[in-house]
């Protein structure tokens, strides 16, 4: 059994992940951490009835006392980096779905994980369909180098653009090679209307509206034709199989892996829940 602590236990994603860990046959939920729900039984948050595990407010103390194998983090961009560093310091393997960390923070985590020989998986998106969307985009851009990305999320998402959009743009840039996108000079009548510009001119547009969950379109333009690759997560359950896959795989890693695609396509992982 893989012992798991969930950080961000009181959040909507945290509750969904705790339910999944609780139900899975090879994982054991040993604790939840959330400063906004200290003392609440995790069973209340999971809507299963009390199970005798109280939410804690301090991450380090929880990891020291509960001694889990894996920490799953779905918190906030402000706290995730510190949480991951704390987990590595305690010898616990982080599986991170929180976005918003800087490139320097990710590099620091990568170095720390390698130095300590501790597995760590950071993924901008744990939905298997989203990973496939990025994979298909990396192939399409070889034939359709002109591309823009539209990502759409609920209006409570803090960071923009999404980690998935940035990751998609990175993959496209790597796959299509050097290509300067954009032809005629542009005049923005409204500042920012053309979206944020990634390397080589890829534009990323962010939409935040109530009623949405997590969606992304990668739009390719070619001579006389348009190709659109779209993925929609319509519920938080879509992330569960990928998170459980990461929990099972991180046990055998001794370094940080960034992006679930490196687990799915390079590790022959079973994406089943």
Is-catalytic flag, 60?
A: no
| pLDDT above 90 as % of the chain | 86
The pLDDT of 215-235, averaged and rounded, is 97
What's the fold here for domain 128-233? Dihydrodipicolinate Reductase; domain 2 (3.30.360)
| Domain boundaries of the chain, sorted by first residue | 2-122+236-267, 128-233
Q: CB count, 10 Å around CB of 108? A: 15
Q: What is the pLDDT of residue 179?
A: 85
**pLDDT, tens only, 47-73:** 999 999 999 999 999 999 999 999 999
pLDDT of 268: 42
pLDDT of res. 183: 72
Q: What distance in Å separates the CA atoms of residue 31 and residue 266, rounded to the nearest whole number? A: 31
- 157 among known catalytic residues: yes
Long-range contacts of 33-40 (CB under 8 A, 24+ apart): 33/5, 33/6, 33/7, 33/8, 33/9, 33/57, 33/58, 33/59, 33/62, 34/7, 34/8, 34/9, 34/10, 36/10, 37/9, 37/10, 40/10
The arithmetic mean of pLDDT across residues 138-155, rounded, is 96
Residue 267 has pLDDT above 80, yes or no: no
Percentage of the chain beyond pLDDT 70 is 97
pLDDT score for 270? 43
Task: Kindly tell me if the per-residue pLDDT of 272 is higher than 60.
Answer: no
Indicate the average pLDDT of the chain: 93
CATH number for region 2-122+236-267:
3.40.50.720
Q: Is the peptide bond before 161 cis (omega within 30 degrees of 0)?
A: yes
Q: How many helices (H) and strands (E) does the chain have?
A: 9, 11
Q: Is 250 exposed, middle or buried (0-12, 13-18, 19+ CB in 10 A)?
A: buried
On the question of pLDDT at 213 being above 90, the answer is: yes
Backbone phi and psi for residue 226, each to the nearest 5 degrees, phi listed first: -130, 135
Residue tagged active-site, from 135, 146, 157, 255 = 157
Q: What is the mean pLDDT of residues 187-203?
A: 89
* pLDDT tops 90 at residue 172: yes
Q: What is the pLDDT of residue 101?
A: 92
Closest CA to 244 of 8, 28, 76, 9: 28
For residue 211, is pLDDT > 50?
A: yes
| Contact assessment for residue 98 and residue 77, using Cβ atoms and an 8 Å cutoff | yes
Given a contact cutoff of 8 angstroms between Cβ atoms, the answer to whether 51 and 43 are in contact is: yes
Tokens 């591309």 belong to: 147
Q: Phi, psi at residue 178, to the nearest 5°?
A: -70, 125
CA distance 66 to 114: 24
Which residue among the candidates 153, 167, 205, 231 is catalytic per the annotation? 153
């Amino acid at each position: 059994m893989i012992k798991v602590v969930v950080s961000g236990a009181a959040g909507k994603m945290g509750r969904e992940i705790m339910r999944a860990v609780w139900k899975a046959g090879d994982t054991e939920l040993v604790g939840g951490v959330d400063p906004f729900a200290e003392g609440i039984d995790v069973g209340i948050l999971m809507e299963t009835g009390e199970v005798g595990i109280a939410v804690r407010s301090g991450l380090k103390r929880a990891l020291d006392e509960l001694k889990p194998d894996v920490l799953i983090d779905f918190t906030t961009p402000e706290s995730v980096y510190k949480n991951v560093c704390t987990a590595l310091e305690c010898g616990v393997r982080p599986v991170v779905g929180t976005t918003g960390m800087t490139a320097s923070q990710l590099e620091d985590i990568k170095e720390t994980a390698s130095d300590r020989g501790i597995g760590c998986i950071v993924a901008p998106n744990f939905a298997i369909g989203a990973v496939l969307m990025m994979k298909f985009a990396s192939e399409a851009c070889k034939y359709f180098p002109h591309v823009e990305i539209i990502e759409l999320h609920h209006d409570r998402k803090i960071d923009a653009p999404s980690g998935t959009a940035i990751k998609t743009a990175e993959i496209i840039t790597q796959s299509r090679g050097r290509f300067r996108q954009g032809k005629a000079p542009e005049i923005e009548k409204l500042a920012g209307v053309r979206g944020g510009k990634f390397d080589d001119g890829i534009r990323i547009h962010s939409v935040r509206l109530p009623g949405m969950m997590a969606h992304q379109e990668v739009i390719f333009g070619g001579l006389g034709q348009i190709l659109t690759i779209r993925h929609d997560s319509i519920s938080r359950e879509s992330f569960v199989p990928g998170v459980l896959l990461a929990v099972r795989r991180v046990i055998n890693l001794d370094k940080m892996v960034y992006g679930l695609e490196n687990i799915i396509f390079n590790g022959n992982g079973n994406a089943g829940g």
